[in-house]
Amino acid sequence: MEKLKKRSWAEPFKIKVVEPLKMTSRVDRQRALEEAGYNTFLLRSEDVYIDLLTDSGTNAMSDYQWAGMMLGDEAYAGSKNFYHLEATMQKYYGYKYLVPTHQGRGAEHLISRILIKPGDFIPGNMYFTTTRLHQELAGGTFVDVIIDEAHDPTNLHPFKGNVDLQKLESLVTRVGPKKVPYISVAVTVNMAGGQPVSMENLRQVYSFCSNHGIKVILDATRAVENAFFIKIREKGYESKSIAEILKEMCSYSDGCTMSGKKDLLVNIGGFLAVNDYDVFEEARNMVVVYEGLHTYGGLAGRDMEAMARGIEEAVQEDHIKARIGQVEYVGEKLQSIGIPIVLPIGGHAIFLDARRFLPHLKQIEFPAQTLAAELYLESGIRSMERGIVSAGRNKETGDHHYPKLELVRLTFPRRVYTQAHCDVTAEAVEAVYENRSRVKGLKMVYEPKYLRFFQARFEPLS
């Protein structure tokens, strides 16, 4: 008998509750896709087999978190869960003040309204949809200062999320530091493929900005995943704990926005955290108008408790190792069969490179949107477009933004799917790849004004 030599990792949990999945036929899926206007956001979840649309709010909570839900203190003011959340944020993220919000964009709204004056410029390491929109609605102009490598899906730079200090400096020189209230630094960079920022880069950005009176606001939504990449890729951090690395990352910033629906292992929740008392004071006033009183910010007490417990679980080494390990497992499988994906494999998702997958389609034929629709039709697996549809329109010219990257994101919810689901996913992508030359593009037949990728509708080109 042969011996198994390899020692595989496995999920550091066992399954206590199951949710059955519905199997569908190709005919069912064709009908569902037409009803959804070829937009995977508009599919009914019931018609989806493996849902890789997003890792946002799709986490499986632990028994410890569910137990915490029963300890919800639903007082209108001063819930004990708020104080627990505040103390836990202070312990792991290190900021002084906390304002809870219903999710990440609630925090983005507050910080944009407080810090941005019309005519200001807000640099960022690649845009995120809701982040940029809130900056624009507050009268600001987003300026991309990510390193060029981030726009090249084949470049193997280990920290493709890094800020290009030259680009940052030339912006500040051009418009003057007074017109740059803060830089928004995403760790990791979702839109670049879940690519991390190095500690060295965070340190340099903070030092440059401090010297010019510019604040650094982290988008800390995926900061734990970023901390894991620092641990395995950056010299000097191999033997530090994830919690230590996370805290050091935050120390090079003045505050953060957080969507708890990602790293923090909950289904809803977020917060704004800052060190500056005046900013906190204003956020605490404003949150009452848009979210709810400053001790609940649109959340139930039980939601805040689950998020506090999620903060603790998120930094556990075996959790984050398996989380990123699962994504890597799928990515390596796809790579081994020649599927074009964004490299290096990022933290939360595999990004199929639709330009190389469907080279016969023009960008205006929506290659990534098309590929996401085809994958659903083939297998019932739901993914999402991250390309020209997500990029939206230029608010001056009215034309589409034409992003370099035309990607389909396969995003893995935390602690939800098994390795067998991962295998099925890779097999489905392979099947679409084998028939790729037959795939035709789409045309857009309905376009909403804001964040169009959520609700746009398409029809196949004949």
Positions marked catalytic: 76, 128-129, 219, 262, 386, 453
104 binds ligand PLP (CB under 6 A): yes
The gap between the terminal CA atoms of the chain, to the nearest Å, is 56
* Cα–Cα distance, 79 to 89 (Å, whole number): 16
* By the rule CB under 6 A, 105 interacts with ligand PLP: yes
Cβ within 8 Å of residue 314, ≥6 positions away = 224, 263, 264, 265, 320
**What is the rounded CA–CA span in Å between residue 387 and residue 394?**
14
Question: Segment contacting ligand PLP (CB under 6 A): 255-263, 306-314, 377-385, 406-414?
Answer: 255-263
Among 128, 142, 206, 271, binds ligand PLP (CB under 6 A): 128
Report the relative pairing of strands 215-219 and 141-144 from DSSP bridges: unpaired
For ligand PLP, the nearest residue by Cβ is 104
Could you tell me how many residues of this chain bind ligand PLP (CB under 6 A)? 16
Stretch that binds ligand PLP, among 60-68, 87-95, 123-131, 309-317 (CB under 6 A): 123-131
To ligand PLP, the closest distance from the beta carbon of 193 in angstroms equals 12
Question: Per rule CB under 6 A, is residue 103 in the interface with ligand PLP?
Answer: yes
Cβ nearer to ligand PLP, comparing 241 with 267: 267
> Between residues 107 and 358, which has the closer beta carbon with respect to ligand PLP?
107
Least distance to ligand PLP, CB of residue 196, Å = 12
Q: Is 39 in the site for ligand PLP (CB under 6 A)?
A: no
65 versus 188: smaller Cβ distance to ligand PLP = 188
Which is nearer to ligand PLP, 111 or 345 (by Cβ)?
111
Which of 47, 51, 164, 219 forms a contact with ligand PLP (CB under 6 A)?
219
Tell me which of 168, 186, 217, 345 binds ligand PLP, using CB under 6 A: 186
Residues 43-72 that bind ligand PLP (CB under 6 A): 56
125 versus 370: smaller Cβ distance to ligand PLP: 125
Q: Does 130 bind ligand PLP (CB under 6 A)?
A: yes
Closest CB to ligand PLP among 185 and 245? 185
Q: Which is nearer to ligand PLP, 271 or 376 (CB)?
A: 271
Hey, how many other C-beta atoms are within 10 angstroms of the C-beta on 289?
8
Stretch touching ligand PLP by CB under 6 A, among 71-79, 254-262, 376-384, 412-420: 254-262
Residue 365 CB, nearest approach to ligand PLP (Å): 27
Q: x/- binding map, residues 257-276, to ligand PLP, per CB under 6 A? A: --x-xx-------x------
- For ligand PLP, which is the closer residue by CB, 222 or 414? 222
**Residue 58 Cβ vs ligand PLP, minimum distance, rounded to whole Å:** 11
> Residue 221, interface with ligand PLP (CB under 6 A)?
yes
Pick one of 24, 62, 141, 190: the residue that binds ligand PLP (CB under 6 A). Answer: 190
Binding ligand PLP by CB under 6 A: which of 59, 112, 131, 379? 131
In the complex, which residues of this chain contact ligand PLP (CB under 6 A)?
56, 103-105, 128, 130-131, 186, 190, 219, 221-222, 259, 261-262, 270
